[in-house]
Amino acid sequence: MHQYHTPKKSWINIDSNSDFSLANLPYGVFSIPGTNPRVGVAVGQHILDLAALFNLGFFADLGLDKNPFASHNLNEFMALGRPVWTKTRQGLLNLLDAQNPELSQKTEIHPQVLIPQADAQMLMPVQVPNYTDFYSSQEHATNVGKMFRPDGEPLLPNWKHIPVGYHGRASSILVSGTPIRRPWGQLLPPDANTPVFAPCRLLDFELEMAFVVGKPNPLGDPISVNHAEDHMFGMVIFNDWSARDIQKWEYVPLGPFLAKNFASSISPWVVTLDALQPFRCPAPQQDLEPLPYLKESDRHTFDINLSVSILPQNGEEGQVCQSNFKYLYWTMAQQLAHHTVNGCNTQVGDMYASGTISGKEQSSFGSMLELSWKGSRKVTLPGGQERTFIQDGDTVIMRAFALKDGLRIGFGEVRSIVLPAHPKNA
């Protein structure tokens, strides 16, 4: 990854606890009333309007005829490749430097290029052509195995040999703030022999992260595990909603379908892998040596703190989980290498979710299925409310940030309220 010169201070006031520090500069797509969507970066409580800056000539060194930031998504910019990503990031760091007057002293254009986040609506940052969900947390997979195969081995024989995954539905990936409707489906009531068609009763969140592909590979040309990160533009928080009772009935023999494809929610800001480099850390040691195509010369991951809170309707928000991205047994590089080893081609904007991220302690379990142990124990919220699964009117909030030596880089949050099941199916 490129080494950047990051200024010590910006001319924009940034709180020391802000997710959107000068070292972060995550990309998103936003609009304000009466304007078209376009690309910006978060800086403290503001959005730097990259489309406006381009039109004012601030990105002339990119050598581009067309404004890649005057777009409804990041795909056009990502498709330009890493040399452009690198030059853009360094150019932004220079413009935001407190010692650089190039933009700081042009106060007459500040209202045009610097938008308060409170005034903006955040939109889907990426057009997602394809979506894959992995199952890469050993702790989560073990917990689920114990619950559903109590008399057998928690992990199936293949789990430590391949990064298990499945192809999900890209069209129902939604940006934070979009309400989620409780899904209908077939489910098997306790002690019944035949299913009923009913609203999901065991609605769950799954605490995940996802990476976005910025550099595609041609059909038939696998991506090497040691060069996989070169293909990744950045990461988002990912809530992979799950209808546990529908899933239990339908997942044999082919895996989740209607239990998963009704909605997944993402945070609106894409944090680049370049910004995350200071938070690289060793990945968990693998018990079995992987096959050569999955063996990394530099096995690492990222130290990213994760949390989930539930805000009941007319209630008080309560945190129910604290986890960390570094717990995952299979790394992003291994996931992408495995996904393409058969020659599968990727596309700009493809999204790859990690699977539920759980730690060893109960407080770090990344789903209500685990926290309530399949509904057998209550999770208590402030004010005394209890949950085993998510109820109508609940808002689920996921947050993520990395912190090291006083440097903080955050992802913001993904927040979604659950609405009652659609009455059309009643």
Q: What is the pLDDT of residues 155-165, one digit of tens each?
A: 999 999 999 99
Q: Is residue 10 part of a domain?
A: no
CATH number for 88: 2.30.30.230
Residue 150 neighbours by CB under 8 Å, 6+ apart:
none
Strands (E), 152-275: 165-167, 173-175, 180-181, 184-187, 196-199, 203-204, 207-213, 232-239, 242-243, 264-266, 271-272
pLDDT number for residue 3 = 76
Same domain, 190 and 48: no
Q: Is residue 8 part of a domain?
A: no
Q: Using only the alpha carbons of the chain, give its radius of gyration.
A: 22
Q: Is residue 107 part of a domain?
A: yes
101 in helix, strand or coil? helix
Same domain, 224 and 247: yes
pLDDT number for residue 95 = 97
Same domain, 344 and 207: yes
Query: Distance (Å, rounded) from C-alpha 354 to C-alpha 281?
Result: 17
Partners of 98 in the β-ladder? none
Domain boundary among 79, 103, 123: 123
Same domain, 104 and 227: no
pLDDT above 90 as % of the chain: 94
Q: Is residue 42 part of a domain?
A: yes
Place of tokens 């370049």: 274
Same domain, 146 and 183: yes
pLDDT number for residue 329 = 98
Alpha helices of 264-376 — where are they, by DSSP H? 273-276, 332-340, 368-371
Place of tokens 């935001």: 96
140 is an active site residue = yes
Domain boundary among 123, 140, 171: 123
Exactly one of 46, 140, 338, 339 is catalytic; which is it? 140
Same domain, 334 and 396: yes
Residue 373 neighbours by CB under 8 Å, 6+ apart:
147
Same domain, 198 and 233: yes
Alpha helices of 9-156 — where are they, by DSSP H? 50-55, 75-78, 82-96, 101-104, 110-113, 138-148
pLDDT confidence tier of residue 8, bands split at 50, 70 and 90:
confident
Same domain, 54 and 198: no
Query: 175-222 pLDDT, tens per residue?
Result: 999 999 999 999 999 999 999 999 999 999 999 999 999 999 999 999
Q: Is residue 5 part of a domain?
A: no
Partners of 40 in the β-ladder? 28, 49
Same domain, 95 and 175: no
Question: 141 φ, ψ to 5°?
Answer: -60, -35
Q: Is residue 180 part of a domain?
A: yes
Query: 222-274 pLDDT, tens per residue?
Result: 999 999 999 999 999 999 999 999 999 998 888 889 999 999 999 999 999 99
The number of folded domains in the chain is 2
Same domain, 118 and 135: no
| Edge-to-edge strand ranges of the sheet holding 395-404 | 180-181, 407-419, 395-404, 305-311, 318-324
Query: 34-83 pLDDT, tens per residue?
Result: 999 999 999 999 999 999 999 999 999 999 999 999 999 999 999 999 99
Same domain, 136 and 113: no
CATH number for 336: 3.90.850.10
pLDDT number for residue 252 = 87
**Is the peptide bond between 222 and the residue preceding it cis, with omega within 30 degrees of 0?**
no
Is the pLDDT assigned to residue 321 strictly greater than 90? yes
Q: Is residue 22 part of a domain?
A: no
Domain boundary among 123, 155, 177: 123
The domain of 307 spans: 131-425
